[in-house]
Amino acid sequence: MSVVRRFIQEHLYMSMTVAMIGCLLLYPSLEKLHSGVATISLIDLTLVLLAIRIAHNSRRMRWPLAAIAVVAIVLDLMRIYEVPKVTTIATLYFCLFYLFAIYSTLKYVLRAGAITLDKLFASLVVYMAMAFFWALVFDLIHELDPSAFGFSTRLAENGVVLYDFLYFSFVTLTTTGYGDIVPYSHQAQSFAVVEQMVGVLYVAILVARLTNLYTAGDGVSD
Q: Is position 222 within any domain?
A: no
8 A C-beta contact, residue 184 and residue 147: yes
Q: Which amino acid is at 156?
A: A
pLDDT of residue 38: 55
pLDDT of residue 54: 58
Q: Is position 58 within any domain?
A: yes
Q: Is position 8 within any domain?
A: yes
The more confident residue out of 191 and 213 is 191
pLDDT of residue 83: 66
Q: How many domains does the chain have?
A: 1
Highest mean pLDDT among 5-9, 130-134, 177-181, 213-217: 130-134
Burial (CB count within 10 angstroms: exposed 0-12, middle 13-18, buried 19+), residue 118: middle
As a whole number, mean pLDDT of residues 188-205 equals 94
Q: Is position 170 within any domain?
A: yes
Q: Is position 119 within any domain?
A: yes
> What does the pLDDT look like over 144-172, one tens digit per residue?
999 999 998 888 887 787 888 989 999 99
> What does the pLDDT look like over 35-71, one tens digit per residue?
445 555 656 666 666 666 655 556 666 677 667 667 7
8 A C-beta contact, residue 91 and residue 140: yes
Question: How does the average pLDDT of the chain come out, rounded?
Answer: 79
- Count each helix (H run) and each strand (E run) in the chain, helices first: 9, 4
Q: Is position 199 within any domain?
A: yes
Strands (E) across the chain are located at 115-116, 149-151, 181-183, 220-221
Q: Is position 51 within any domain?
A: yes
pLDDT of residue 219: 55
pLDDT of residue 118: 84
Share of the chain above pLDDT 70, in %: 70
The more confident residue out of 14 and 72 is 14
Q: Is position 221 within any domain?
A: no
> What does the pLDDT look like over 126-143, one tens digit per residue?
999 899 899 989 999 998
pLDDT of residue 145: 92
Regarding pTM above 0.75, the answer is: yes
Strands (E) across 75-116 are located at 115-116
The more confident residue out of 190 and 7 is 190
> What does the pLDDT look like over 80-95, one tens digit per residue?
666 667 778 878 878 8
Beta strand 149-151 pairing with 220-221: unpaired
Instruction: Please provide the distance, in angstroms rounded to a whole number, between the alpha carbons at the two ends of the chain.
Output: 23
Return the CATH number at 67: 1.10.287.70
The answer on pLDDT for 196 being more than 80 is yes
Comparing CA positions, the residue from 145, 132, 130 lying closest to residue 188 is: 145
- Domain span including residue 151: 1-215
pLDDT of residue 39: 55
